[in-house]
Structure 1
Amino acid sequence: MKKLLNLRLFVLLLVSLFAVTGCQSGEGSENGGSEDGSVEFEFWAAPNPTQEQFWDEMAQKYMEENEDVTINVSPMPESPSSEAGIQSAIAAGNAPAISENISRGFGAQLAESNAIVPLNEFDGYQELIEERQMSETMSTWTFADDQQFVLPIYSNAMLFGWRMDILNELGFEEVPKTYDEVLEVGQKLKDEYPEKYLWARGDLVKPTWSARWFDFFMIYNAASEGNGFVEGSEFTADDEAGVETLKFFQDLSENGLLLTREATDPFESGDSIMMDLGPWTFSYWDEKFPEMEQGETYELAMPPVPEGEESTTFADTKGLSIYASATEDQQKAAFDFVKWVFSDAENDLEWFEATNLPPARDDLADNETFTSFLEENPELKQYADNIPNSVPPMDNPQTAEIQELIGTQGLNPVVNGDKDAEQAWEDIKTAIDGVLK
């Protein structure tokens, strides 16, 4: 994850430069449509070799069927971050026609500055959503103005890993599902192994805004049954869920169940028995910790909840956006390319096989296209099952500031023992209201 940037102020600066150069009109592009009807455009892939290779292969196949289109695939600049690289390109007037690696929060910043265009206004948009079987997934991605600026490519429904072997030693046959059950496990753990911890996560005492996706929001989304927290510019968080979330962290801290100093592979070594886990972990385990086997060493589970509630989780997810600086011909060609890619489930399978990132499809768990792959990689099955039960990042341009305040005003002091849950939640609300006004 990238370090905190004051992205919103940077975007506003770039917008003014963007407007001065007249780039938003889409005119004067060097690679637009030509008199013979051909069109050429730039596609920026995420700065990841497997993703760049996937998009390059898709572009080559598409161009074989569409000889009047030229797609130039290259990795986006990432200095000091991919977001900053995109913003700099917008300001300089050399943004691509389309790029991936756009989160919902960053998409909101770009949309606020009119740097990207609504995808739902392209002919064939609804057909694409239906063909890719992603209507339910898209319902959580719609922006506050009912426009759709980002098409999600993948969705990691973040899960918790539990050391099942150690749970069995402690006398537990199942993963704990509620706060009370988690605390019961934690107490038994400390009784038997005083040197072990329930959850090792140094970020719990750090203000890093992006870290909140993998601690606070995993627990909050579960407690609130998927409440959006902030909708557009309105603070819509659930008070009861907010307090319950912080009280859970408070209880973990007061019972000595959190390891907040940095540690190397604490879950794999057994120093902790609970870990926020994304599907990218498994290739690392295959290489470094082959003894980690689902059903034996560990199990996967949705976040714990207050008694009697259904669980929801955070969706680590990014997608594609089309830029306003591209010509109309480039924008249409870019959308047609996207529609071509995602209208064939075999392309999503190729993506899944290459990246381990679950395609953002409602039918991923039961579409026969993916059955063999999921059978061969059973650890990915629960991620696929829970895509519809996961919530993407908020769609606010001030996402970074808001999530930093969740840390500094609430989670960090609660874990450090400096505030109780009720006071911390009130402080979070007051601070965020000040940002949104």
Structure 2
Amino acid sequence: MKTKKVVSILFLASLTVTSLAACSTGNKVQNGVVKDGVTTIEFWAAPNPTQQVYWKEVAEEFTKENPEINVNVSPMKESPTSEASIQSAIAGGSAPTMSENINRGFAAQLADSKALVKLDELNGWDKLKESRNMENTMEGWEFSDNHQYVMPIYSSPMLFGWRLDILEEIGVHEAPKTYSEMLDVAKKLKEKYPDKYVWAKDALADPTAWKRWFDFFMLYDAASNGNNFVEGTKFIGDEKAGEKVLGFVDDLRKEDALLTRKAKDPFESGLGIFTDIGPWTISYWKEKFPEMKWNETYTLAAPPVPDDKETSNVNTFADTKGLVVYASATKEQQEAAMKFINWVYSNPENDLKWFEKTNLPPARDDLTTNDTFKVFLDKNPELLPYAAAVPNAIPPMDNSKYNDIQTFIGQHAFNPVVKGEKDPKTAWKDMQEAIEGVLK
């Protein structure tokens, strides 16, 4: 689920990429339309067998109902990264019609180079948002130029896991919701278990860009009500909220509640009692740590918020990716792509099939109210908190320099505060200056 750094396109120029095929009959394509009237669109699925199976199945069903459109599904290459393979294909003139597996930061890079279609300018976009019931979810997806380049497939709100069993042992009966409640837990934990920590995670001191999605941005989105961090070439981070986040982390450090050295399975072992948890972790636990049981061993909660904030409908970071249509596609292919997307998402059964296969919550507002998903969620109640949080989940920033920006958050602010090297106010100021420098 983590984005790797994209390497140079020149280095990748020799990579073999899948060329746009017509169909199995070998008919020649002219302007995106096969001679017999069939429009062929090339769809690159994520390099994940489960997702490839899903897309091949829905493409076959779609073609049965729409024989005038052939959807050719193939996996995108991931050597050295899927992003690099896409950039190489664009540079070589062999990009697919559409692909999944795109986050907003990478989409911003592609949009800056005019490689993506503005989805909101295609016929059927408004119908798609309405029929899939994702108006609220889409609010955070508009780019700084007021256009939409990515249609989110899934939105995994990142929640914090708490070791419920250990909380009970120290006399706390529910997950803390505010900073002061969490600091109270830290004091009680250290009194009873001096060798345990609230947050045990080596990534807290690591400046790697994507790691800020799973600590800083979860807390910042909650404290700022989902305020944007950058907009176009301007830094618009909420200073008050940001300093509160850094101050909270600093307070945890002062309580000796943070552990930044590497440790094996710190949350599962109980060395730490609080950590970020995505829905994919649930599947992993069922196989590797069957003792981790929801509402017994652990519980899931929204990020804690400053004491003056509401504790309901709390925003958090969304680990999310979606579909894009490439500008190199012909008008016929673009129209066919939108028809395919609308067909898939007009039926909630297709989102249910996705949810069942991947455990990744579909990016729609009604997961907890639509009867289509009720049986599945009843059987998998640990996924219910994720489903409920989808409308409040904030996607990654839509800036082509997101990798630099997030590295600076770690280098100049979050990591130094965690280590006790800077006070929160100085850290925020230093970070802002570094980000504004790269945005010029």
TM-score under structure 2 length normalisation: 0.93
Whole-angstrom distance in 1 between the partners of 2:169 and 2:101: 42
SS in 1 for 2:141: coil
**Identical aligned residues as a percent:** 57
1:100 is paired with a residue of what secondary structure? Answer: strand
Runs of 4+ residues over 4 Å off in structure 1: 1-4, 28-31
Asked if 2 retains the 8 angstrom alpha-carbon contact of 1:31 and 1:39, the reply is no
Q: How many residues align?
A: 422
User: What is the CA–CA distance in structure 2 between the aligned matches of 1:319 and 1:174, rounded to whole Å?
Assistant: 35
Letter in 1 for 2:171: G
Pairwise mapping of residues 58-207 of structure 1 onto structure 2 (< 5 A)? 58-207=58-207
1:283-335 Cα offsets, whole Å, 9 max, x none, are: 11111111111111111100000003132100111100000111111111111
Q: Distance in 2 between matches of 1:31 and 1:259?
A: 59
Structure 1 residues 48 and 6 mapped into 2: Cα distance closer, same or farther (>3 Å)? closer
Q: CA deviation at 1:2?
A: 4.9
Is contact 1:218–1:303 with CA below 8 Å preserved after alignment? Answer: yes
User: Cα distance, 1:4 vs. partner?
Assistant: 5.4
How far apart, in 2, do the equivalents of 1:264 and 1:323 lie? 42
* Corresponding residue for residue 432 of structure 1: 435
Matched, 1:380 2:386: no
How does 1:403-418 map onto structure 2 within 5 Å? 403-418=406-421
Give the AA of the match of 1:256: D
Q: Is the 8 A contact 2:201 2:266 kept in 1?
A: no
What's 1:321 paired with? 324
1:30 CA displacement: 7.1
Query: Match of 2:22?
Result: none
Q: Tell me the equivalent position of 2:14.
A: none
Of stretches 231-240 and 204-213 in structure 1, the one that deviates more from structure 2 is 231-240
- 1:256-267 equivalent positions in 2, closer than 5 A: 256-267=256-267
CA contact (8 A) 2:152 2:321 kept: yes
CA contact (8 A) 2:212 2:410 kept: yes
For 1:366 and 1:281, locate their aligned partners in 2 and report how far apart those are by CA, in whole Å. 24
- The one-letter amino acid paired with 2:240 is E
Seen in structure 2, the aligned counterparts of structure 1 residues 29 and 120 have a Cα distance that, compared at 3 Å, is farther
Q: Deviation at 1:232?
A: 2.4
User: What is the alpha-carbon distance in structure 2 between the residues aligned to residue 130 and residue 154 of structure 1?
Assistant: 16
Q: 1:390 aligns with which of 389, 393, 399?
A: 393
In the alignment, what sits opposite 1:225? Answer: 225
State the SS of the aligned residue for 2:34: coil
Matched, 1:48 2:45: no
Name the structure 2 match of 1:312. 315
1:36 equivalent to 2:36? Answer yes
Partner of 2:17: none
**Does structure 1 retain, via aligned residues, the 8 Å contact 2:220–2:245?**
yes
Question: Is 2:376 the counterpart of 1:365?
Answer: no
Residues 29, 327 of structure 1: 8 Å contact kept: no
Alignment partners' CA distance in 2, 1:124 and 1:387: 23
Please tell me whether the aligned partners of residues 4 and 209 of structure 1 are also in contact (alpha carbons under 8 angstroms): no
Q: How far does residue 90 in structure 1 lie from its aligned partner after superposition? A: 0.7
**Structure 1: gaps of 5 or more residues:** 15-27
Conserved? CA contact 2:316–2:392, under 8 Å: yes
SS in 1 for 2:35: coil
> Post-superposition shift, 1:254?
2.3
- Would you say the 8 A contact 1:6–1:400 is kept in 2? no
CA distance in 1, matches of 2:207, 2:64: 49
Partner Cα distance (2:2, 2:93) in 1: 24
Whether the 8 Å contact between 1:29 and 1:326 is mirrored in structure 2 is: no
Q: Counterpart in 2 of 1:20?
A: none
Q: Kindly state the Cα deviation for residue 6 of structure 1 after the two structures are TM-superposed.
A: 6.0
TM-score (norm 1): 0.93
- CA–CA distance in structure 1, aligned partners of residues 304 and 244 of structure 2: 12
CA contact 1:230–1:394 (8 Å) conserved in 2: yes
Question: SS of the residue aligned with 1:95?
Answer: coil
1:386 is paired with a residue whose SS is: helix
SS at match of 1:140: helix
Unpaired runs of 5+ in structure 2?
Answer: 12-27
Q: Give 1:36 shift.
A: 2.9
- Which amino acid is 1:375 matched to? D
- Structure 2 equivalent of residue 21 of structure 1: none
